[in-house]
Amino acid sequence: MIKISINKSIKLGITYSFFVLIMSTIITLFMSHYGENYQEFANVLKLILVLFSFLPLLIFKDNDDYKLEELGFKFSWRSVIITFCIVLLLGLSTGFQTASELTFGTKIIEGVARTGEEFFFRGFIYLIILKIFKDEKHKNASSMIFSSLIFTIAHTEIFLGTYHFGFVNMFFNTFITFAMIRHFSKSLLPVVAIHTFMNGGIVSCIFGIMITSVIIYINHTREKFSVEGYRCSN
């Protein structure tokens, strides 16, 4: 029997996730029908969506169910080495020429947007599913599968009916690989590096790594001070 555990803070997280996903659907529908005529307004909507992907960092920052470490902002040499190898491999395989048609500003925007996506889907939603199935033996597999499925539905815009099943399947396989890397490394750093590099090249990748590293550093420093403060008080 599947055991599901949902407390108040997890319910709030689920509600927030649904809200952002519905907003994403509405914005996508607007872009597909009116994007060309209202380009500036569409850009504002996309910016708002990116902000929503980062907002959980502020909304749930003092909640024990959403610790930064569990969200994927954890320092470990394993994640650093994996990230370095990924960036090097992608760079050598593409000659560091990915997304050469994009302007520098667009690459920065891509870096921020894709980092936000990784945080929201493979950080926030991933952790929520992990908490829901926390008493299950295969909770990690459930989290990887369901978070990847949700990302696939949102990312390929299945509801528009414009994508072939093979294309959707390719996306799901890609995202499940991302989830496996996130699980193995216990960090968002490697998947942020992959996603930003694929969409915006090395510039976006560096910017995404910088954003993630700053949050990891803040978390690492805060934990260090907490431990030292505890030792001093005892």
Q: Which of 140, 173, 131, 141 is closest to 156 using CA atoms? A: 173
For the cut 90, the answer to whether the pLDDT of residue 5 exceeds it is no
What pLDDT does 61 receive? 86
Q: Which of 141, 158, 161, 138 is closest to 150 using CA atoms? A: 158
In angstroms, the first-to-last Cα distance of the chain is 44
Task: Show Cβ contacts of residue 191 under 8 Å, excluding neighbours closer than 6 positions.
Answer: 118, 122, 178, 181, 182
Q: What percent of the chain has pLDDT over 90?
A: 53
Of the listed ranges 74-88, 159-173, 196-210, the least confidently predicted one is: 159-173
Of the listed ranges 29-33, 64-68, 103-107, the least confidently predicted one is: 29-33
The domains of the chain are located at: 8-233
